[in-house]
Structure 1
C-alpha cells in the first residue's frame, strides 16, 4: 500500500483529484508490483511500521543464515581438535602464525553480514519510533538501512553459495569412525532393550571404550543383524523409520502446490 496523494497529514488537502490514481498507475508500471492506495491515508502517513516489519524479516533471514554458518564452522572444525565432519573449501593460504590452519572465512563473512543487518534493523526500529504525529523525519535513514541490508544479504548469500556451499564435501571416514565410537547411538536401541539396559550399557561403553553394538550383542539382548539394522546410517539419520510410532514423511508429501 502507498499513501501518495495524502500530502502532509493524510487528508489530501491541495492535491489534484487525479494525482493519487496517476501516481499509482505509474508506480505499478515502474515496479511491476500490484500496488494499491491505502484505505486509511491518515494512518498510512503517520505510521511507518511496515518498514520495521520488512526490516525485521530481513534480520530474521540474516540471523537464520548466520546460524547455518555457525553450524558449518562447527562441523568443519579440526582437523584434529574439532568435529571435522565436513570440509569447507579453503579460500585463503592459511593462518599467518600457524601454518596449515585454514579459517572458515566465508561463513565468518556471512556472520558479520548478519551482525550488520541486525544493527541496521535496530536503526530502522528507532527511526520508526522517532516519528511524531504525521511527521516521520527519519525516513531517509530507514530507506538507507533497508537498502543497505538488502545489498549485504544479496552479496553475502551469493558468496556463501559460490565460495563455500558449492564446494562442501563430507569427511566420510571421520563420520564413520565417530558413529562407530558414539555411545549416543544406544538411544536408537532403547525401544528394543529398554531404558535401564540402555543406560547400563552406555556406562559400560564409556568405561571400557567399547562399541555399544558389540555390548548389546554380547549381553544377548539383540542379534548382530538386528543391531546393525537399527544402527544403520539410514535409520539414525531418519531416512528409514525406527519404530512405527515415528512415521517418515516422504519429501513429495511436503510439496505445496502454488
Structure 2
C-alpha cells in the first residue's frame, strides 16, 4: 500500500526556506513530516539554498556538531550534502550519533528505568548474567574491541592496551598540583570544584600521550573531576576535541 504524498504549497515552502532561512527540520516539524521530505520537495522545485562545499573540513563539522550543538541534518543542509554524508564523516573520527544527540537516548533510558523499577531479579537470572559476562571477557578479541571502543578508534586501527603504557617520570605530584592550581581547582569540562568532587581532581593528558614531558614533548594537561575523567576514557577523539576546544587550542584531527 503506497503512502499518500503530503501536499505542500510550493510558494510557501520556497518563501520560508529561501527568504526566511528556516531549516528543513523546523519546516518539517511545523507541517508534520520529516526533514528528508522537505529537502526532497525543495529539490523538486529547485529551491536549494546552499551550494555543496567541495572540501568538507572535518574540524569544522566537529565544531558545528559538538560545540554549536547543530544536528547532522542541519549541518548537511547548510553545506548542501546528505545527512548520511555527515554521519559518515563523524563516524570516521569516532563520533557516533548516540554520543552527542543524547536527548532521545536519555528519554529512552528513563523509560527503561521506569519499566524496570520495582522488578526483582531471581538469583538464577543474576547468575546467568554474571556467567555470560565472565565468558565474554575471557575472549581476547572481545577485550580488544572494548579497548578500541574506550580509545575511540575503529577496531581495525586498534594497536594495544594503552592503560599499561608508562608515564613520563616528570609527570609527578608537584606538576599535578601546579595544573590543579592553574585550573583554579575546578574541572575544566563541567566546572565542578575539587571540594564537590570530594577528592583531588584528576590531571588528564589531553592528547592521551603518557610520555608528555619526555623526548622534548610538551605537556598538554588539564584538571577533570572523577566523573569527567572516567568519561574521557571513552571515545577519546571526541573528548580530546572537547577539552582542547575549552582550552582554545588548535585541534588537529588525528587519522
Instruction: Report TM bin, short chain.
Output: under 0.3
TM-score of the aligned structures, taking structure 1 as reference length: 0.21
More helix by share: 1
- Structure with the greater alpha carbon radius of gyration: 1
TM-score of the aligned structures, taking structure 2 as reference length: 0.22
